Amino acid sequence: MSKVHSCRDLEIFVYVEDTDFQGIVYHANYLKYFERARSSCLRDLDISQSEEIKAGKVFIIKTINIEFMRPAEIEDNLIISSEIEYLSNARLFFHQQIKRNASDDIICKGKVEVCFYDQKKNKPVAFPKKLLKNL
Amino acid sequence: MSKVHSCRDLEIFVYVEDTDFQGIVYHANYLKYFERARSSCLRDLDISQSEEIKAGKVFIIKTINIEFMRPAEIEDNLIISSEIEYLSNARLFFHQQIKRNASDDIICKGKVEVCFYDQKKNKPVAFPKKLLKNL
Amino acid sequence: MSKVHSCRDLEIFVYVEDTDFQGIVYHANYLKYFERARSSCLRDLDISQSEEIKAGKVFIIKTINIEFMRPAEIEDNLIISSEIEYLSNARLFFHQQIKRNASDDIICKGKVEVCFYDQKKNKPVAFPKKLLKNL
Amino acid sequence: MSKVHSCRDLEIFVYVEDTDFQGIVYHANYLKYFERARSSCLRDLDISQSEEIKAGKVFIIKTINIEFMRPAEIEDNLIISSEIEYLSNARLFFHQQIKRNASDDIICKGKVEVCFYDQKKNKPVAFPKKLLKNL
């Protein structure tokens, strides 16, 4: 049975590096914003990616579905909200959403499937016990 | 009724900038590779994005679905292949795939929905006639 | 005669996107960190780049000198400190430095020459009066 | 005594990802172009960064001086030319320049100091013998 964990919102300010010649945020950069929010959430759950990689273990993305509603622009304050949907000890989905802070405008929505990978064994493994316990 | 156009393959070499601390290509960079292949394909179809924006018109992404099979690494030669599925004069899908050149290993697959947008009128419009004619 | 303005420090957390296969922050990303700090400083001085571009005016970089002391790593907390050296109403230097938060380790130092450019007149112009007044 | 090696030119096409809201190439991306040209040059000199890192050895940048003359834009074809100035077996400079292909317009010029680093010994070491021999 699935469980859901709500992550703390992450606030992101849009800088020049994030924009493109269309005057809006380059589409692939929303994936970076989503990743920042997931990494922050993992840290809140006491997971350190720099510790895990010392044991040869990394978080890997399997699938992403993303829907773009309206563009973000330079100097926007964005709020990234994320929920973890826990399906099994080897399968998680992050449901993520980006809003402009000053309004309720949704910029984009995404669903990201994450697994945990042992680079030495060369195969997916169960998530860290600490993560499973804290969810 | 839908039509399909096959784009010319694009070859991409993986540089340091593309990788992350896991020793593999950072996931969001595959979206950049896909976009390079779409832009190259549009140019082959005689579309210039720098010309279009002078008239306030830009290509906008609506949805992306992407599936990651195996990671690419630094110094890999990748082949991006793309097909345009034409649904109507305001709706296109790109079906895209990344392979390692030296093998038949599929790195990832994506489906990208693109529309055309008039920044002055602030609404989606039909694709450029030249594009529709050349498809 | 030159004047100096001290900007507020900017705190930056190092995410996966910032790193490369060497396990450290990709060198060009320090320029992004510097730019984030300059943009934040300009905002503190009441300058909005999104407002300026509506009048066709943009900040342009002329030269950068950067020295890399030691690498930053994923999950590092960095502090970007910046000082504006004002030389004339068309010439500014930012002296910028990145430190690891938890220590006094200097990651890198840079000197960035900035001018202001009128895209319609196609030439450098004096900085916004508001900026000159607030320095 | 210093020696100089001329690298093969690298051609780069400017994609959407490279641009910013000012309608030009984002300044930090020229450093990426420089790095692509250096990596390509190293490969021509029979150096593989993926091989070197297996032995814990990486190329590290010490200093960069860069001068920006005029902006590159989307759909530009750029030519990156590079020369290696060899000073000692632990110190190299790359002198690099970016031109627009269709003209002799210089976009920017840079000087990049590179050393070689042993991540296990935690100190700079002599460049690979193969590189020194092939210069």
The pLDDT tens digits of the residues spanning D79-124 come to: 999 999 998 998 999 999 999 988 889 999 999 999 999 999 999 9
With an 8 Å Cβ cutoff, is C39 touching chain A? yes
Whether this model's pTM surpasses 0.90: yes
CA C98 to chain centre: 11
Interface of D with A in 55-74 (CB under 8 A): 73-74
With an 8 Å Cβ cutoff, is B2 touching chain D? no
With an 8 Å Cβ cutoff, is A75 touching chain D? no
CB-count burial class (<10 Å; 0-12, 13-18, 19+) for C101: middle
Q: Is the pLDDT of residue B91 over 70?
A: yes
pLDDT band at D1 (very low <50, low <70, confident <90, very high): low
ipTM of the prediction: 0.96
Span A55-85, pLDDT tens digits: 999 999 999 999 999 999 999 999 999 999 9
Q: What is the mean pLDDT of chain C?
A: 95
Q: Which of A53, A60, A68 sits opposite B61 (nearest CB)?
A: A68
Cβ of B50 and D74 within 8 Å?
A: yes
Q: Which of B17, B22, B26 sits opposite C28 (nearest CB)?
A: B17
C77 — phi, psi (to 5°)?
Answer: -100, 120
With an 8 Å Cβ cutoff, is B122 touching chain D? no
Cβ of C21 and B19 within 8 Å?
A: yes
Cβ of D35 and B17 within 8 Å?
A: yes
Q: Give the span between the Cα atoms of D47 and A63, in whole angstroms.
A: 35
Taking contacts as CB-CB distances below 8 angstroms, the residues of chain B near A37 are none
* Gap from C23 CA to chain B (nearest CA, Å): 4
Chains C and D: how many Cβ contacts under 8 Å?
58
Mean pLDDT of the B24-38 span: 98
Looking at the annotation, which residues of B are catalytic?
Answer: 20
pLDDT given at position C102: 80
Taking contacts as CB-CB distances below 8 angstroms, the residues of chain B near A31 are 27-28, 31
Place of tokens 């345009």: B84
Cβ of A35 and C15 within 8 Å?
A: yes
Residue A52, helix vs strand vs coil: helix
Cβ of C16 and B24 within 8 Å?
A: no
| Total count of residues recorded for chain D | 135
Q: Which residue type occupies A134?
A: N
With an 8 Å Cβ cutoff, is C15 touching chain A? yes
Q: Which residue type occupies D54?
A: K
What are the residues whose beta carbons fall under 8 Å from the beta carbon of C56, sequence distance 6 or more?
Answer: C118, C119, C120
With an 8 Å Cβ cutoff, is A50 touching chain C? yes
Cβ of C21 and D53 within 8 Å?
A: yes
Span A4-51, pLDDT tens digits: 999 999 999 999 999 999 999 999 999 999 999 999 999 999 999 999
With an 8 Å Cβ cutoff, is B17 touching chain C? yes
Q: Is the pLDDT of residue A127 over 60?
A: yes
With an 8 Å Cβ cutoff, is D45 touching chain C? no
Cβ of A36 and C50 within 8 Å?
A: no
Q: Whose CA is closest to C82, among C118, C53, C43, C50? A: C43
Written as six digits, the tokens of D6 are: 């001329």
Phi-psi region of C23 (alpha: psi -120 to 50; beta: other; left: phi over 0): left
Q: Give the span between the Cα atoms of C47 and A49, in whole angstroms.
A: 37
Given CA atoms B45, B50, B51, B57 in this order, what sign does their dihedral have? positive
Cβ of D49 and B73 within 8 Å?
A: no
* Gap from C63 CA to chain D (nearest CA, Å): 4
* Gap from A1 CA to chain C (nearest CA, Å): 31
Cβ of B21 and C20 within 8 Å?
A: yes
Decide: C130 and C47 in contact? Cβ < 8 Å.
yes
Taking contacts as CB-CB distances below 8 angstroms, the residues of chain A near C15 are 32, 35-36, 39
Taking contacts as CB-CB distances below 8 angstroms, the residues of chain D near C23 are 119
pLDDT band at A1 (very low <50, low <70, confident <90, very high): low
pLDDT given at position B1: 56
Neighbours of chain D (3+ CB pairs under 8 A): A, B, C
Q: Give the span between the Cα atoms of A44 and A134, in whole angstroms.
A: 9
pLDDT tens string for chain C (135 positions)?
578 999 999 999 999 999 999 999 999 999 999 999 999 999 999 999 999 999 999 999 999 999 999 999 999 999 999 999 998 998 999 999 999 988 889 999 999 999 999 999 999 999 999 999 998
Each domain of chain D, given as residue ranges in start order, spans 3-134
Residue of chain C whose Cα is closest to the Cα of B19: C20
The 10 Å CB-count burial string (b at 16+, else e) for D85-102 is bbeeeebbbbebbbbbee
| Maximum alpha-carbon separation in chain A | 47
Give me the CATH topology for the region B3-134: Thiol Ester Dehydrase; Chain A (3.10.129)
pLDDT given at position D57: 97
Residue of chain D whose Cα is closest to the Cα of B74: D50
Chains B and D: how many Cβ contacts under 8 Å?
38
Query: In a mutagenesis test of the C interface, which of B14, B15, B21, B27 is the best target, namely the one with the most C β-carbons within 10 Å?
Result: B21
Q: Give the span between the Cα atoms of B20 and C23, in whole angstroms.
A: 7
CB-count burial class (<10 Å; 0-12, 13-18, 19+) for C111: middle
Q: Which of A28, A73, A74 sits opposite D17 (nearest CB)?
A: A28
